[in-house]
Structure 1
Amino acid sequence: MTDKAHVVIVGGGLAGLLLGCVVATTCRDRLSVTLIERALPEAPEESLDTRATAISRGSKALLDHWMLWEAVSNEAKPIEDIHVSRAARFGSAMLRDAQDAREPMGWVVENVLLQQVLVARCEAEGVALLEGREVVDFCATQENPKLTLNNEEVIDADLVVIADGAQSALRESIGIGAIRHSPSQFAIAVNCETDGADCGVAYERFTSEGPLALLPIPNGSSSRARYNVIWCAHKVKQAALLKLSDDDFIGALQAEFGWRAGKILRVGRRTGWPLGKIAARELVRARCVLFGNAAHTLHPVAGQGFNLSLRDVERLATVIATEAGQDAPFSSVERLSVFTDMSRKDHEQTMGATSQLAEMLDSPSPFVDGLASLALSTLDLTGPIKRNVAEFGMGRR
């Protein structure tokens, strides 16, 4: 490597790749950046198996600032309105922006497109992408952290950004504990195709066991409307849904969601996972920073996870750029802890709001059940409150 300070990012998910892009772009003359990732996913060929991410207006502004939005904008699916409802209960609301708004409320972008754009930018900015590698030993007790890879290569770093996921092995290896909440809900992700109008409406439907969300996604060569479905339920129901045939699953989904998006014609491959919450007790140690899902996991309701990570990228990139100008960059835990101070309020508000929203309507009491329906009906009639809810979803803080 060079005599520049060396930042190593462990984990090449969307958050890690984006951080690598931004840091390499803003600090190219002062830092070298290495990103380690076991495997970057490949694009499925003409199937319903692609996964997608919701991008808020605030996140789009950041991507635009980093000159990344143009590369994905043509393939981004606009969200014009958000329809919120409750299964088998009265009350619904249509969230939309002011009539003179010049932009949609948000966009949905396929993950593989985002990853391809971020990988290309990382390569253009000189990030060393070590794909097919994983860390088998991590020593953070010396002056500079050392990472040993599965090919026996040893990397010295001035700063290690730990972004290796919710079950982070590196987080545990440096002794940072995490607050864990056992899951009450389990998720299913699947894409579907319907015969309904493709009008850019996202749907959030609250059932007795958790939220059911349909995000409009680009339809590629198909003329049908397509949606990315996240269906949250209790463990027994989730397990039963995963075992159904496609036809039976379509019937169950149609019955739970209704017909507002049209008749569901087909579905792609289903995947499931538990929605346990994890929050690291610390974000910073000597020359180490926890990032992305290694630092916190969010319930997928309202699609806030990646949008929070984008704001974290902006904050951490600012701290890294400041450190790059120091005589001994990244040597001070106190200076690195500025990232924690900058992030704390946003983390608490976003994680708290998504958790409360998901849990409030999970098998509610009769009182909460009735109150929720009344609140949803009132929301549809109350302009200022409705705008505040919409602005939270659009990433305005």
Structure 2
Amino acid sequence: MAGASLALGLAQLSEKYQAKLNRPLSIAIIEAVAPDANHPGFDARSIAIAHGSVFELTRLGIWPKLASLGTEIENIHISDRGHFGMTELNAEQFNLSSMGQVVELAKVGKVLFDELKQHDIKLYCPATLDTLKTDATGHSLTLSNGQHIRTQLLVAADGAHSKVRQALKQDIEKVEFDQVALVANVQTDKPHQGWAYERFTDTGPLALLPMSSESVQGKSHQPRLSLVWALDSEQAQALKTAPKAEFLASLQRAFGNRAGRFTEVGERVSYPLTLSYMPRPIYHRTVFIGNAAQTLHPIAGQGFNLGLRDVVGLIDAIETVIKHSQQQQQALDIGQHTVIHDYLSLREADRSNTINNVEFLVRGFSNQYWPLVAGRSLGLRLLSWCPPLKAPIAHKAMGWKSA
């Protein structure tokens, strides 16, 4: 999603300055697999697109293509299992129609892939990076299909195991949380009415996001929720393979009845939870964005939203150099040192603050030390008792830039 969003945003930027550019920006995407049911980046998972991200996607001309796929998050309920702390965030309190949207990656992937073909974007698919050679003026890429690309600016949007990062031997820091995320779609016996839930349990956070209804096993319009449940590895493996009834009963005990009775669960998948980040997500004529630059714990649903702010920051840095080159009547070089370091300057504070905030939440709400439990429960209650205190929390939940 990050790479496709960037390419579409740059295509729009190229069209905006078309009359002033000697030639349009030359944009290419290298993609291993076309989106379908088996695409690893656009599988059955859902993600939350925060209100701030919807705003940015609209500005890039992308959200109108995706809007029909979204399910609104109108309210967020936050609770600490077994303790008195709980609070709610409501879109209405902030004069908004929603706090964000939930989309299914499989459907979004197909729309974005089709949209790429409507613009002047060269698509190398199926193809992967084979070799990468760097010199003073750019990069020379050889692809798995034997094709060659020469570029002034290389953007690595190739995920947590970035081949570009490995090829350039760039450092990455990792923090292990000793947790595994169990992910599945579940059904309940009552409509979700736009509610999302974040429940902190003894094993870690349990999140439920509202999804569109779907006909399943002959039953129409069954309410669905996207589940992300943090567990230790032993618990995750046991629940991943447990009989359906046993899994649903365990989920009910951990979450409670606020969302209704859990009646069905889809395919269960799991992955280890790790915070990884590049201290400097730039290199010579190279920028790393999205999961290639940082992967977050899903506790706050900020992964794609932070990655999209990377996208917007890079587009802004490139637009600045386009304007400057026109004013100075210079040849345009979008991979020059100024672009790379302007991007880093634009993104540094937001990246650092978001990463630190997410790690603080994970540590703070996975700890059962009683003074900390009492403090966080009181904090959640204070948010309920004093609504003005909710504004900074809502600001972050809605994906607005953290600076």
TM-score (norm 1): 0.91
Counterpart for residue 68 of structure 1? 62
* Residue aligned with 2:177, SS: coil
Counterpart for residue 349 of structure 1? 353
RMSD of Structure 2 on Structure 1 (CA): 1.8
Pick closer, same or farther for the CA change 1:70–1:342 going to 2, 3 Å: same
Counterpart for residue 21 of structure 2? none
Deviation at 1:102, TM superposition (A): 4.1
Q: Could you tell me how far apart the structure 1 residues matched to 2:146 and 2:93 are?
A: 59
Q: Could you tell me how far apart the structure 1 residues matched to 2:166 and 2:280 are?
A: 12
Q: Could you tell me how far apart the structure 2 residues matched to 1:228 and 1:140 are?
A: 43
Counterpart for residue 41 of structure 1? 35
* Residue aligned with 1:349, SS: helix
Deviation at 1:283, TM superposition (A): 1.8
Deviation at 1:52, TM superposition (A): 1.4
Q: Where do residues 257-272 of structure 1 align in structure 2 (5 Å cutoff)? A: 257-272=255-270
Pair 1:154-2:148 in alignment? yes
Pair 1:365-2:369 in alignment? yes
* Percent identity of equivalent pairs: 32
Counterpart for residue 14 of structure 2? 27
Deviation at 1:100, TM superposition (A): 7.1
Pick closer, same or farther for the CA change 1:37–1:176 going to 2, 3 Å: same
Q: Could you tell me how far apart the structure 2 residues matched to 1:141 and 1:125 are?
A: 29
Deviation at 1:237, TM superposition (A): 1.6
Q: Could you tell me how far apart the structure 2 residues matched to 1:142 and 1:348 are?
A: 30
Pair 1:337-2:341 in alignment? yes
The 8 Å contact of residues 248 and 264 in structure 2, kept in 1 or not, is answered as yes
Q: Could you tell me how far apart the structure 2 residues matched to 1:192 and 1:115 are?
A: 22
Pick closer, same or farther for the CA change 1:275–1:99 going to 2, 3 Å: closer
Residue 319 of structure 1, aligned match among 267, 292, 317: 317
* 1:93-121 alpha-carbon deviations (Å, 9 max, x no partner): 11113447241111111212322222222
The 8 Å contact of residues 8 and 62 in structure 2, kept in 1 or not, is answered as no
Q: Which runs of 5+ in 2 are unaligned?
A: 19-23
Which amino acid in structure 1 is aligned with residue 313 of structure 2? R
Which amino acid in structure 1 is aligned with residue 150 of structure 2? D
Counterpart for residue 294 of structure 1? 292
Counterpart for residue 7 of structure 1? none
Once the two structures are overlaid, the 10-residue window that deviates more, 78-87 or 134-143, is 134-143
The 8 Å contact of residues 140 and 174 in structure 1, kept in 2 or not, is answered as no
* Residue aligned with 2:26, SS: strand
Q: Could you tell me how far apart the structure 1 residues matched to 2:69 and 2:126 are?
A: 28
Number of aligned positions between the proteins: 380
* 1:197-237 alpha-carbon deviations (Å, 9 max, x no partner): 33110000001121100000111344221100000112222
* Residue aligned with 1:151, SS: coil
TM-score (norm 2): 0.89
Residue 210 of structure 2, aligned match among 216, 233, 252: 216
Q: Which runs of 5+ in 1 are unaligned?
A: 1-13
Q: Could you tell me how far apart the structure 2 residues matched to 1:79 and 1:320 are?
A: 33
Once the two structures are overlaid, the 10-residue window that deviates more, 162-171 or 233-242, is 233-242
The 8 Å contact of residues 23 and 321 in structure 1, kept in 2 or not, is answered as no
* Residue aligned with 2:185, SS: strand
Counterpart for residue 236 of structure 2? 238
The 8 Å contact of residues 24 and 122 in structure 1, kept in 2 or not, is answered as no
Counterpart for residue 3 of structure 2? 16
Deviation at 1:395, TM superposition (A): 2.1
Which amino acid in structure 1 is aligned with residue 361 of structure 2? L
Q: Where do residues 378-393 of structure 1 align in structure 2 (5 Å cutoff)? A: 378-393=382-397
Pick closer, same or farther for the CA change 1:213–1:271 going to 2, 3 Å: same
